[in-house]
Amino acid sequence: MQRHSAALVIRPTTDIRMPVAPQLLEILVCPKCKGPLEYREAEDALICQHDKLRYPVRDGIPIMLIDEATPA
């Protein structure tokens, strides 16, 4: 008797929300002021309260570039 393999639903990577690894969050600082960042999982963003900048997170990878940051 052969087991029927369950169909895998493969979603495009853009559909998958990946949280940033906690180990990564611990070492991340704002590239501008070297200050702490606030992770907003619902927004997929890291916020620097000091600079009022919002760093985007793409596929669980924080984009720590001042050029990529938008006003928070």
Residue whose CB is less far from Zn ion, 50 or 58: 50
Residue 63 contacts residue 57 (beta carbons within 8 Å): yes
Residue whose CB is less far from Zn ion, 17 or 50: 50
Only segment of 5-13, 16-24, 47-55, 64-72 that touches Zn ion (CB under 5 A)? 47-55
Q: Is 62 helix (H, G, I), strand (E, B) or coil?
A: strand
d(CA 67, CA 59): 19
Which positions from 7 through 46 interact with Zn ion, judged by CB under 5 A? 30, 32-33, 35
User: Cβ of 72: how many Cβ atoms within 10 Å?
Assistant: 16
How many residues sit in the footprint of Zn ion (CB under 5 A)? 7
Closest-approach residue to Zn ion (CB): 30
Residue 69 contacts residue 55 (beta carbons within 8 Å): yes
Q: In the complex, which residues of this chain contact Zn ion (CB under 5 A)? A: 30, 32-33, 35, 48, 50-51
